[in-house]
Every structure is written in structure tokens, then in C-alpha cells.
Structure 1
Amino acid sequence: MAQWLAQFWDDRGIQILVLLSFTLQVLLLLLAGIRRRKSSAPLRLLLWLMYQLADSTAIYTLGHLSVAGSKARDPHLVAFWAPFLLVHLGGPGNITAYALEDNRLWLRHLLTLSVQVLGAAFVIYKYVTVGGRTLLLVAAVLLFIVGVLKYGWRTVALWRGNLSSIRSTVKYPQEETEYNLSHWGKRLRWPYPSEGQHRGGFGEEQLLLGAHCMFHICKSMFADAALYHCKFNEACGAFYCGKDSYGLAEMQLSLMYDVLYTKAAVIHTWYGYCILVISPLLTAAALLLFHYDSSGGDDRHDGESKANVAITYVLLSGTLALETVSLARAMGSTWACALMYCCGWERLLGAVTFLRRLTGVARKRRWSGSMGQYNLFHLCTRDRTELGTRLAARLGLRNWWNKVHYSGTTAISTTDLMDRLLKLTTIDGYSRGLGALQTMGFDCSAVPFASWSLMGDIPFDDSVLFWHIATDVYLSQSKFEHEERLVAAVKVLSNYMMFLLVAQPEMLPGPIRQGQYADTSSHLDKVWDMCLADQNKGDGVRGPPQKWTMLKKLFQHDKPNRGPNNASRTRTLQIDELAAKLLTLDYPDAEDIAPMFFLKTRPFMDGARVAKELLQIDSNSMLEVIFLVWVHTLAYAAYHCNRDSHARQLNNGGEFITILWLSTQQQKYIVNQSTRGEPLVIPDPFP
């Protein structure tokens, strides 16, 4: 059996590898777009595997050709496949880097480019040039040119996608001259949509044009580059940000995703468009040359050669199809539309925009609208007799299981969160939530613990834990009428901050101590055990396992913020009971507690203290105050988050914290610039 497998691999190995390499290119072209929005973990794992296998398969096959090509029955034809592997190493246009770190390794790709180009040239010279098949040689040279262009293109795209390279490409205005140069050096027109569009708000296509007009501001923020005052920035900001600032930020982030993770930075240039046109033309010419070459000679039509000829036709026709699709996608992209807008090609822009609206491609650039959710009270009232919980505890994976199994997502459209954010003229990202208390006219001396918990000398993760506990206790102990959507918005923000702390700590200002979170959840577990003991329900740990539902629950996520059903109503009652128990406990003063013990239990105790203060006041505006505290806390985290973390998360659909950061910082920049001098007057866009 082993000998047969070895012989089969010797006979068919190169054919299998070449077809596998081509198949991976097709799959990458089809599936790479799932990263732009939230996607399931299995799909992302599949995409990662294909991304890794695509390069390694092409490199291994090219090396195998240079060594074992002479063993093939038709070495001239097999060697003709070498240029295809260079094309495959170039990859499709919609994926260049899988992670942000790939862009920093562009020098390694440059070295790999040199080695693989020399290897492909060696294979062509060794097996094709000596066979007397001139047409096949010319076809190989044409495809070799395409492969070098595509692979070099990818290397340049990796270099351009590095944040340090982006910083060097941000153009600055000369003194006070207007900055109105586009990505191509064309003069931008003033940002007005078509007549009547702006009165009722912008559509996706108009927002995309606005995102292109202000994209240099977005790049400057990601690259930590300086921004200078100019009237063009003021005009764009005043016009677009005043209508839909968060939608504009979503579109800008989608363009930033293109620059970081695709070939957009090199495709939509004069040389990029030349390569897009040249590649299918050269591939079509190679297909014709190979057809004329393979049609002559009866000695080329035995069984082995027929299989090789069929594979070559598949590679040629498939490559031509992929290159044609890439050209069509580039011509119909938003980057091409922005170029048409800059050049004033109204009719062509209208036709392309009409087709784009029919397919809804601009809508797919919007943020998914889902926010991660994690709730400590929901976690602590879990059924600890479940199979997954017990297995995770046995294997020492309790924290990982809790993070995966008890976290979830919720659609932001279920609340009026975005509507309320749009009504806020300014969002303070510098003073955590303390500015919210002062904005609402609260005397800090009346709420000493609440004010103290938001001060700058308190660790940020402690503040999140304090207010997460306080929010849940306050919401469970207060009654609200006609405030359901505001209550939902507060819950979403509170749970989202806990989700970031547990699942995405790199998105928060550090240090984020996972031990502090683990100790807090452990203490809340003990309080819940006290509740169960008071009700004579056992200790909640050694209860009888639920046999028939164990496996079912193992594969079902226990998510917070679930819909109204019997199970969720029971869970809500349990959370209310836990919150009430927290308020009845006696917490000693800080000076009566040993320092180490105080450090471990401070969020557990002081969260309840903050809740008591909020409940004692319990004014009609308290819910608005809590909402503003969470908004300002999130804005503080967004502003102090590392720029690399913002950029890295775009590869996973993006986070709301990044949208809030970009939108608020742009608004602050526009407000600061518009108050520097004379009133802003936006000129007629079509003089």
C-alpha cells in the first residue's frame, strides 16, 4: 500500500499540487470578503487555513518543479505551469494580508519574491527553451511577466499597508492652502451629492464619496500623523459629519480595511490599472499560443499528455477568468467611482453608481451593527451542573469556557443607542465618566463613591467592574416606565464594556488585570451561593446533573440579553435576587480591611456602594446619567486604545469602539478648526 501511494504521488503529485494551488486562489477570491463583517469562527479558521496553504503550496510546488520536473512524462508542458505558481503567489486582489503583522513582513515577501522569480525562470529555461516549442516558450514568457507583476504588486501592497508607510503617504497642505488632492493627485470637488439627496440624509454611495473626501483624516488618525487646518477639511466635515457622522466613520473604516488588508492601495493607481488591463490580455494571448502549440503533433496526444493538456487549459482559462473578474470588480469599485467623481465624469459615474445600487455593494461596507455582550450577573447565576462547566473546571479551562460559552452579541438596532449618540454634540473622551456627572449637574460630594470610582487614579478595569455591577443592581432594583429602549441601551453599553474587558482586553487602556475580573466573579459566585442557601436550594455546585439536556446545552451558547422566554425570565428573577442580596450585605470600611484583601475585593464591594448611592438619589434623570457615564467611559477607552489594536480589529469586522473613536475625534477636529477664524462658507460645487 505504501509503495503504491509513493508511486501514485510520483506520477500525479505535481498535477494535484498545481490544481490545489489554483483551487485555493478561487476559494480565497470567493471567501476573503467575510472578514469585512462579523463572521463565524469556523469560517474564519477555514479562511486562515486557505491563506496559509496558498503560499506554502505554491512555493513547495515551484520547488518541486525545479527538482523533479525532468521526471514528468511531458517535462516541457509541466514546466509551463511554473509561471502560474507566481500568479498564485500574487494572490487575489481582495486579500493581501490576513493579519496586521503580515504587512510588517513585507521585506520577507520581497526576498521570497526574488527567490521564487529566479526559480520559475530556471524551470522555464531548463525545460521549455530547449524543447524547440517556440509558441509554448512565448506563452510561458507572457505568463511569467504576469506572475512577476502580480507577485510584485502584492509585495508593494504589503509595504503600503504598513502603518508607518501610511504615515509617509499622508499629504500635508502647504501653509494655509486648501488640501483638496485625492488619492490620485486629482483635485477634489466640493462634497455635495446630487440635487435633493442631502435633504433627507445620505445614501451609502454618497457617504462613500464623503469617506473618500475625508479619508486623509482617517489615515492620519490611524498613523498618528499630524493634521493641519485647511478650509477643505472644514467643508467636508461640516457637510458630511453633520448628517451621519457614524455612517461616515463606518465607510472610512471600510476604506481603511481595503488599504490594510487588500491591494486597494496599489490597484487604484495609474500603474495598478495598467496591470489590471495587461494581465488578462497577456493571459488570453498565452491561451491562444498554447492552443496553437498543442494542436500540432500526434505524439502529444497519448494518455499522460492529454491529462496535462487538460490541466493546462484549466489553468489558462481559470486564470483568464480570475483576471477578468478582478478587472471588472476594480472598475466597479468605490475607488473607481471616487476617481470618476474627482475627474467630473458624471455620466460614467451615474451608470456605475446605478449598477452598484442594484447589487447593494455599498451596503456591505457598513458595520455589521452587532456588539459583543458579557454580563457578570448572568455568568454567576449559571447552572454550574452543566456538562461543559464541569468539564472546563476539571481541565483548568474555566475562564476560557466562561468567556466563550457565556458571551454573545446583540444588534445595536434593538435600542436607540445610535439615535442618542447622534444627539450628543460633544463626547468627552478624556475624563472617563466623571464629566458626565458634572454635565448633568450632579454634586460630586453627594455621590462620593460614584465620583471616586471614575477618577483618573483608579485603574480603568476597576472602574468598568464598579459600574458594571452598579448598573445591574440599579436596573434590577428600579422601576422604569416608557424607558425600555434607554434601559436596553444602558444594558448594551455596560455588557459591551465587560465584553471588551474579558474578550478584547487589548482594545482597552491597560493594564487590564484578568485576575481582578476572576476574583470579582468568584466573589459574586459566593454571594449567589448564599442566595441559594437562603432558599434551601443547596449550594449550587453539587446539584444533580441534568442528564437529557447536558449534551444539548454543551453546544448552545448561554448568551446575555436573550429574548423573552421562560428560561430568560427565570434568569432575570435570579439576577434580581443576586442584586438584592448584594445590597443587604455589610461592607466594612476601607481602613478596617487588610490591604491585600481590599485589593482583591474592591470591585465586588465598591460596585455595590456605587449602586446604593445611585438608588438613594434615584432621580428621573439618573438613567440618563448612567447612560452618559458609559458613553464617556467608552469614549475614553477608544481614545486611549492603541492605534494598532483599532487597525487589527478591522480584520474581524470592526468594533463599535473604533467607530466611536473615529467619529468623535473627527468631530472634535472639525469643531476646533471651524472656531479658529472666519465663518465657514462652502462654495458652490458646480460653479
Structure 2
Amino acid sequence: MTLEEQVLHAWKEWGIRVLVLLSLAIQVLLLVLAEFRRRVDSGVLRAFVWSAYMLADSTAIYVLGHMSVTSRSPEHRLMAFWAPFLLLHLGGQDNITAYSIEDNRLWLRHLQNLVVQVAAAAYVLYVSSMLDSRSLLREATIILFLVGAAKYGERVWALWRADSTPLGNKYMSFESPNRVSFSAEIVGPVHGRGWEASTYIAHLLLDIPRDLMNGPLPQQPRIYFWIFHDEVYRIAERQLSLMHDVLYTKAELQHRWCGICIRVISSLAAIGAFLLFLVVDYHQKESYNKVDVAVTYILLAGALVLETTSLLAGIFSSWTCFLLVKWRFKQGSREVMEHQIEVLPGRRTIWRVVASVYQLIHAGNWRRRYWSGSMGQHNLIQLCARSKTSGISKVATWMGLEDRWNTPFYSWSIPVSSSIRGMVVNQVVVRQSEARSHTVMARTRELYERMGWQAENIKLDESILSWHVATEIYLRWYTERQQETATGSRWEEGHRPLEYRAEVKDLSNYMLFLLATRDYMLSPTASRIAYVEACYALTALEYSSAEELITLLRRWGIA
């Protein structure tokens, strides 16, 4: 037998088994890495998560397509029992349904795959002996099949919901923009500090960032909270984490009554199937292939661990805590009627116990990050200057892929400094004060006039580009004046030293990073087309360094 024939024979004998175990391993990998992805900003980690996400569906679909032939063999009758497990794998893990925003927009494609793969799994069971009334695994097979189809359908539902918003799912009146009706349990100030209060407020206002993803709100809700100054940023962090749950996980559906039922039934089904297979294996040891039996035990154990983990993670999540608080308020609490909401008041023993349990589970949440704690950076001037001297960039330009190469290659991330956090919080506080807002606008108009160019009535993408270039020019000019001061020259009269020079540059780079690589996070009217046109225009100029490019732009501005 030649080497080629040996390889073909080994693949025919072991191919399905290896791929089934690979499908399970990918699900475990996704379950673990998805949580790290939320808090760690690493290109290597993103590459692993993306690879696992792409391989998960293709592996399960490939195995289901070939199982209809292999499972007919008398030696591999047990393979048909693996089909429901593949449906469970196609349902994915609760903490990652989509890798990017674009995956949510492909929910209709996943719906088509759902119909095809459920039909394929049903055909595998039909042509096998698993649905035979004499088979002891019949009930377990049917239950696992139904649970797998339900979890796969839930994933498609989650993708569809992430691609829509509450305002986009129903018609709303635009005649009275200042009138918004809220149920009694969410109106009024929130007393107290700590993890429970910030979580409740973040959940309460979650519809606002969801709808802002698709454009400005037609109605602005009037909800007032008593929030301590040092908690504003933490609440924003919680909302950032919740938006990650909405866009990339099953968190919302997981905590509906249907999601709870699916997880309870799937966990019980995994336990029942494991126990039933123990009985079958004990009484029919010689009926099935030993290797297939071992693979089945691994699949059962894996399903049991994954489903139990999913159930426990859902029970002890912040979403469950929020639902418990809302249910507590719906019981007719006097504090609600008086608009004096206390988060988990604990006046009854059961609520005191619930509060203690969640505080114990989420101990240290103030110290734990809900996101990576970093911000992306992208500098147009540096990109244009470096790409003109980089050999790889020249090759990418020759191949017509300069934008696909330069944009990610010349992007990086930095930790969010405490000063930037303070600036964000102070800006929120300033905007809440009408008098101070008028002062800021007056200073802004004065700055427009001094710079000699108008920034009004321009699109968001053009505004980001204009302010980014203006920031680079001004910081370069400031550096030159600082050097002159060091040599004995004086500052211009009325000029004040720049207090937050590094922070200004970081925020400018961050806004351009959003426009260049994350334009879907900006207003729907924003487009990266202006960024691409600016890159092509600047790279066509004659210069050899970033300083020369800035000097050239300054001359154009003066002219």
C-alpha cells in the first residue's frame, strides 16, 4: 500500500472522529478566549479568536455533510448520535455570537444555514438506527436534537436583534419629542453607591447607546439620578461592557424566559443523555466501536460542562441582578411610588441574602476592568510619512492594497490615562451646566476666528480630519515656540502654555482611529471615504518626513 493510500485510509477511518473532537475543542477555546477578548487588547488574541470563530461553523457543517454516509456503516452506528452535538456547537457559546458588527448583518445567511443544517442532522438520524424504537438512546437523541436546533435558532435571533435597535423595531411618534413615558420602576433618582447602583443605572439607560449606534434619538428621555462625581466614569465602563454583550453575545436573550428555559433544558438533557449512555454502554459493550464510544463520552462530558457553565454564568451575571431589582420594584414598593429607588434595599431577608450573594460573587468589580482599558491610535501624518519610505508599504501600493495594509499596520493602542478619564468626566459635568456650556461655545467660536477657517456645517468625518490635521500643525508650532523659549525667546503676548499636550494628541489620534478602522462606531452619516481621499492626496506630495509634511501643510494654511 502506497503512502497516499495509507493517508486516504487513515482519513476515512479517523477523519470524522478528529473533526468532531476538533469542533468541541473550538467551542471550549471560544468560551475561554471570548472573556479575555473583552479585557485584553492583543492582536495575537484577536487572531486566535477570529480563527476559532471562523473554523467553528465550517467544521461542524463539514462533519454533518459527511456523516450521512459514514453513519450508515454497521461499525459506526454510534456516529449518528453525534449529529445533535454538532447542532449544539453551531449554536455557539453565549459569550460570543459575533466577532464583528458585520457578522450581525449576516443574520439572514445564518438563518438559511440553520434550516439546511437542521435538515441535514434530521436526515442523519433518519437513515440511522438512532430513531428506532428499540434503541435506548432514542429519547436522548430526540431531546438533544431539539435543544441543539433551539440553541442554533437562538443564535440567529441574537444576531438579528444585535443588527436592530428598540426604536427600529417599532413606530414612535415624532410629534412630541419632549414627552417620554417610562414605567414606574425606572423613574426617579437612584440612591446609594457601589457595584449594584452603577450596574442598575447602566442597564437602565442601555437603550440610549443602542439607538445612538443607528443615529440620533428622536426623543430624549428625562431621567435624573443622584450620581457621585467619581462614579460617572465607572458607569460609562459598565455601559461599554453591556454594549459588548448586546452586540457580540446572547446576554439579552439569555435572560429572557425562553433563554432560561433553553439553558435549563439543555443542562438537564446533557445530564440525562450522559446517564443513559452509561446504561447503554454497560449493557451493550460489544455493540459499538470502542473508539466511537470514547469519542461519545468526550462529547457528552464536553456538552455537560459547556451547558452547565452557560447556565451558571447566566445566573450570576449582572443582567440577572438587574432583572431581580426590576422584579423587586414591580411588587409595589412604596419607595417606587415616591420615586425614591434603592438598589437591592434588603428590607426583607430574601433580598438581603440576594444582595450579599451578588456582592460576594462580584467582589472586586470596582478594581476589575470591564474592557481592555486602552484606546486605539492612528496618525495620518505619521502614516503618510512612513508609508513613503517603507518597502512593504510600497509593495502593498504596487498590488493596490495600500489601504488594507497601512490602516491596521500603522494603528496601535495605548492605556487610557487617568487625566483623560478626568477630562471625559469633567466634560460631562460641564455640558450639564448651561452657563459653562455658553462659555465653552464662546471660546470655541473665538478659536475658529483665530485659526482663520470655518468648521461649521461640515460633516463629522471631515470635521475629524480637519481637527486632526489642525492639532498636528498646532502641536508642531507649539514645540517650536517651546524650543525658542528654551533658547531665550519669549512667548507671544497672551499665549498660555498647553496644559494637556499629550492628552490632546492621544484624543486626536483616537478619533482618527475610529474614522479609519471603526467607522461603524460613529454616526451613520460618517464615512471613511474622506479619510481614504486624504491619504491619497497627502501621499502624492513631495516630502521625506513627518516634519516636512507638517511644514508644507502650514504653508498652505497661511497661503
TM-score (norm 1): 0.65
Matched with 1:151 is: 152
Alpha carbons 2:471, 2:505 under 8 Å: kept: no
User: Given the alignment of the two structures, is residue 368 of structure 1 paired with residue 373 of structure 2, yes or no?
Assistant: yes
Give the corresponding residue for 1:517.
535
The aligned runs of 1:4-403 (5 Å cut-off) are 4-37=6-39, 39-71=41-73, 73-75=75-77, 77-129=78-130, 133-163=134-164, 167-168=168-169, 178-180=181-183, 187-188=185-186, 190=188, 192-194=190-192, 197=193, 203-224=194-215, 226=217, 228=219, 233-235=222-224, 238-240=225-227, 244-300=231-287, 305-344=289-328, 346-358=351-363, 360=365, 363-366=368-371, 368-374=373-379, 376=381, 380=385, 403=407
- Greater Cα shift, 212-221 or 499-508: 499-508
Q: In structure 2, the residue corresponding to 1:92 is in which secondary structure?
A: coil
Change (3 A) 1:451 1:141: same
C-alpha distance in 1 between matches for 2:130 and 2:402: 63
- Paired amino acid for 1:333: S
Equivalent-residue separation in structure 1 for 2:151 and 2:466 (angstroms):
50
C-alpha distance in structure 2 between counterparts of 1:91 and 1:6, whole Å: 31
Deviation at 1:171, TM superposition (A): 8.9
Q: Would the alpha carbon gap of residues 11 and 517 (structure 1) be closer, same or farther in structure 2, given more than 3 Å must change? A: closer
Query: Given residue 23 of structure 1, which amino acid in structure 2 is its aligned partner?
Result: A
Q: CA deviation at 1:316?
A: 0.8
- Which residue of the partner structure matches residue 338 of structure 2? none
Give CA deviations for 1:512-566 in whole Å, capped at 9, x if unaligned: 143433443554725x5xxxxxxxxxxxxxxxxxxxxxxxxxxxxxxxxxxxxxx
Aligned residue identity for 2:212: M
* CA displacement, residues 386-410 of structure 1 (integer Å, 9 cap, x when unaligned): 7657766777766666545544322
> Among residues 473, 476, 479, which one is paired with 1:476 in the alignment?
479
Q: Find the residue that maps to 1:410 and give its secondary structure.
A: strand
The one of 413, 416, 420 equivalent to 2:417 is 413
Higher relative contact order (CA 8 A, sep 6+): 1
Unmatched 5+ stretches in structure 2: 329-349, 433-437, 487-495
Q: State the distance in 2 between where 1:107 and 1:500 align.
A: 27
Counterpart secondary structure, 1:363: coil
Q: How does 1:647-662 map to 2 (within 5 A)?
A: none
Paired position in structure 1 for 2:346 = none
Correspondence list, 1:424-573, <5 A: 424=427, 425-426=429-430, 438-439=442-443, 442=446, 447=450, 450-456=451-457, 459-460=462-463, 463-464=466-467, 466-479=469-482, 486-500=500-514, 502-504=516-518, 507=522, 509-510=526-527, 511-520=529-538, 523=541, 525-526=543-544, 528=545
- Inter-CA distance 12–133: structure 2 relative to 1 (3 Å threshold): farther
8 Å Cα contact 2:376/2:413 also seen in 1: yes
Partner Cα distance (1:130, 1:389) in 2: 59
- Per-residue CA deviation, residues 139-186 of structure 1 (Å, 9 max, x unaligned), is 2122112212211221222222222566326999999675137xxxxx
Q: Is the 8 A contact 1:370 1:411 kept in 2?
A: yes
Question: How many angstroms apart in 2 are the aligned matches of 1:361 and 1:293?
Answer: 50
SS of equivalent residue, structure 2 residue 363: helix
Amino acid at match of 2:363: L
**Mean CA deviation greater in 210-219 or 261-270:** 210-219
Q: Is the contact between residue 177 and residue 220 of structure 2 (CA under 8 Å) also seen in structure 1?
A: no
1:384 Cα deviation (Å)?
7.7
Q: How far apart, in 1, do the equivalents of 2:171 and 2:363 lie?
A: 34
Residues 30 and 436 from structure 1, CA distance in 2 versus in 1: closer, same or farther, beyond 3 angstroms?
A: same
Q: The residue matched to 1:80 in structure 2 has which SS?
A: helix
Number of the residue aligned with 1:627:
none
The answer for the alignment partner of 1:605 in structure 2 is 555
Conservation of the 8 A alpha-carbon contact between 1:191 and 1:239: yes
Amino acid paired to 2:205: M
Aligned partner of residue 212 in structure 1, secondary structure: helix
Cα distance in 2 for partners of 1:220, 1:152 equals 25
What whole-Å deviation, never above 9, does each CA across 1:366-388 have from its counterpart, x for those lacking one?
462324142626964x6987765
Note if contact 1:58-1:85 (Cα within 8 Å) is conserved in structure 2. yes
Please, what is the CA RMSD of the aligned residues? 3.9
Residue 342 of structure 1 deviates from its aligned partner by 1.7
Question: Cα 1:212–1:15, aligned 2, differ >3 Å: closer, same or farther?
Answer: same
Change (3 A) 1:375 1:241: farther
Measured at CA, do residues 476 and 174 of structure 1 come closer, stay the same or move farther in structure 2, by a change above 3 Å? closer
- 2:383–2:406: 8 Å Cα contact kept in structure 1? no
Preserved CA contact (<8 Å) 1:403 1:503: yes
Alpha-carbon displacement from aligned partner over 1:103-124 (angstroms, at most 9, x marks no partner): 3333333332223223222322
**What's the % identity of the aligned pairs?**
33
1:91 is displaced (CA, Å) by 0.9
Q: Kindly provide the amino acid, as one letter, of the partner of residue 192 in structure 1.
A: V
1:96, distance to aligned residue in structure 2 (A): 1.3
- Using the size of structure 2 for normalisation, the TM-score is 0.79
Give the whole-Å Cα distance in 1 for the aligned partners of 2:177 and 2:394: 65
Distance 1:206 1:135, change over 3 A: same
Q: Can you give the 5+ residue segments of structure 1 that lack an aligned partner in the other structure?
A: 182-186, 198-202, 429-433, 529-573, 583-600, 611-687
Distance 2:325 2:237 in 1: 20
Contact 2:464/2:511 (CA < 8 Å) preserved in 1? Answer: no
Check 1:136–1:398 CA distance in 2 against 1; reply closer, same or farther (3 A cut). Answer: closer
Cα 1:524/1:353, change in 2 over 3 Å: farther
User: Which whole-Å CA distance do the structure 2 matches of 1:298 and 1:407 have between them?
Assistant: 59
Change (3 A) 1:176 1:73: same
Cα distance change on mapping 1:23 and 1:359 into 2, 3 Å: farther
Asked if 2 retains the 8 angstrom alpha-carbon contact of 1:466 and 1:604, the reply is: no
Aligned to 1:409, the other structure's residue is in SS state strand
Supply the distance in 2 between the matched residues of 1:146 and 1:462 (Cα, whole angstroms): 50
